[in-house]
Amino acid sequence: MIQELHVFTDGGSRGNPGAAGIGVAVYGDKDKIIFEKSAFIGVTTNNVAEYEALLQAMKWLEDFLKQNAVGQVKFFSDSQLLVEQVNGRYKVKQQHLQEYVQKILALRQKITNAETSTIFLHIPREKNKKADALVNLALDAQR
C-alpha cells in the first residue's frame, strides 16, 4: 500500500481567455514522480484551466486506484479560489464552474473509501513549480 500520494495541479492561460494548458504531477512514497501530464486544452480562461487540471488528475487517480491501494491523497493547487470552492467555503457563481465542482465532488466520492481519504490544499505558487512547468511546456509547444 502507498501511504500517501501528493497530487500537484496547475492550469493557466496566456490571455484570459487565451491559449490554455494544464499540468499534473503526482508523487508517491519517497517523493518519486509516478505520473505527470502536460496538455494543451484550447482557448479558455485561467479558472477553467485550473479546474480541468484537477479533474484530469482525479480521473487518473480513479484508474490508478483500481490496481493500487493508497491511504491518503493530498491535492495541492496554487489556486485559492479552486481549493476554497471545492472545499465548499466559497460560492461557485458561474454555471460552467459549478459543473466542474459537481464532477470533481462526484469523483471524490467514488475515490474516497475505507482505505483512501482525500484532501484539497492551497499552496503558494513557488511550491507548485513542477505542475507550473508542465503548464508552460504545453503552452510553449503550441507556439
* pLDDT at residue number 56: 98
Residues forming a β-bridge with 15: 18
* pLDDT at residue number 54: 98
* pLDDT at residue number 30: 82
Where do we find the cell 495541492?
A: 76
Query: CATH no. for residue 93?
Result: 3.30.420.10
Query: What 3-state class would DSSP assign to 78?
Result: coil
Mean pLDDT of 78-99: 97
Find out whether 76 and 128 touch, Cβ atoms under 8 Å: yes
Mean pLDDT of 16-30: 95
Find out whether 121 and 75 touch, Cβ atoms under 8 Å: yes
Domain that holds residue 133: 2-140
* pLDDT at residue number 55: 98
pLDDT band at 29 (very low <50, low <70, confident <90, very high): confident
Cα separation, 86 vs 80, in Å, equals: 10
Mean pLDDT of 97-103: 97
Mean pLDDT of the chain: 96
Q: In 9-128, which ranges are continuous DSSP H helix?
A: 46-64, 80-86, 95-111
Mean pLDDT of 51-62: 98
Q: Indicate the number of domains in the chain.
A: 1
pLDDT band at 70 (very low <50, low <70, confident <90, very high): very high
* pLDDT at residue number 104: 98
Residue 116 pLDDT > 80: yes
* pLDDT at residue number 143: 76
